[in-house]
Amino acid sequence: MAFKTYRRSLAALVVAAAVVCTPAASAQDYPTRPVKIVVASVAGSAPDVLARLIAEKLGAALGQPVIVDNKPGAGGVVGIDAVAKAAPDGYTLAIGHDGTMAINTIVYKSLPYDPATDFAAIAPLGLNEFVLLTNPATGVRTVKEMIAYAKARPGKVSYGSAGVGTPNHLFMEQLLKAADVSMTHIPYKGGAAAVADLVGGQTEFMLAGIAPALPHLKAGKLVAIAVTQPTRSKVLPDVPTVAETIPGFGMKTWFGLFAPAKTPPAIVQKLNAEVRKVLADKDVQDKLTAQGIVIETGDPATLAATVKSDIARYKALAPSIKLDSN
């Protein structure tokens, strides 16, 4: 009887040890198949550029392909929601930003995901530099000229954005408020379409990430008026900041890597360590800098805190921002 009791006790200990060791073992073996990074915007967008640069190096570090999957739609809701509902096993990740993880909480009355609780933050990735653009036909070259242009044409000037509630929409509304002018907002299904119509003259102004704007700037099809961040961009050093005309104005948008909530902490930590190594690679740094993306990384807790603080900030800001499409 004592021997049977011993065997049962030993079996129980083995099972308990297996339960305790399973997450560590799975994290140690992870990944055993391709990893997918969902980008909730179109190819060529700043999040897409960032994801593809990271994916190549991260795949080599993990020993498995890292695939970028574009799932645009509804201001990023479609793609981000797909990740929120994916299995929490480290094989489905997302590039999130202040638009999808904070601004959407004030744009949509009911989001299918909760940015603060439905995700495991992995790592901050960087900041996206924005540039105020115009079509050359406007003749506008400075912020002061843009203000004068809009005031001389009340109700007749428009600006495009990647969609209602996207960062370039909200940033532009805050800029117009600071400048004490108004323009008609024309939302598009993605930044690429908005930039294309700006080039075509269907709209007159737009705030866009530097990366998708660069080819058009180099070709002379668009004009850079100013950058929105507090300091000048290394990519466009001759372009002034908005703050040089409107003191105190400064806007920037961030990117982060996320996984579904309940992803094993060991996998989160492994991904964090590998992503930070990728971002420390000089080749990656040079390519991101050339695209107007400033690397700024850290631990998972830093990214999670950023999400929560931005949600609170935008909810406080919501009453003063026009969120409709006009």
Cα distance between residue 11 and residue 13, in whole Å: 5
* pLDDT score for 132: 98
Cα distance between residue 19 and residue 143, in whole Å: 62
What confidence tier does 212 reach under pLDDT thresholds 50, 70, 90? confident
Whether 301 and 122 have beta carbons less than 8 Å apart is answered as: no
All domains in the chain, ordered by first residue: 32-128+252-320 (3.40.190.150), 130-244 (3.40.190.10)
Average pLDDT over residues 232-242: 94
Average pLDDT over residues 243-254: 92
Reported as type and span, the H/E element at residue 292 is none
Q: Is the pLDDT of residue 33 over 50?
A: yes
Q: Is the pLDDT of residue 275 over 50?
A: yes
* pLDDT score for 42: 84
* pLDDT score for 324: 54
Q: Is the pLDDT of residue 175 over 90?
A: yes
Cα distance between residue 64 and residue 198, in whole Å: 40
- The rounded mean pLDDT for the chain is 89
**pLDDT by residue (tens digit) across 102-112?**
999 988 889 99
* pLDDT score for 32: 97
**Closest C-alpha among 147, 97, 131 to residue 229:** 131
**pLDDT by residue (tens digit) across 111-151?**
999 999 999 999 999 998 899 999 999 999 999 999 999 99
pLDDT > 90 in the chain, percent: 69
Cα distance between residue 114 and residue 117, in whole Å: 6
**Closest C-alpha among 259, 304, 276, 296 to residue 30:** 259
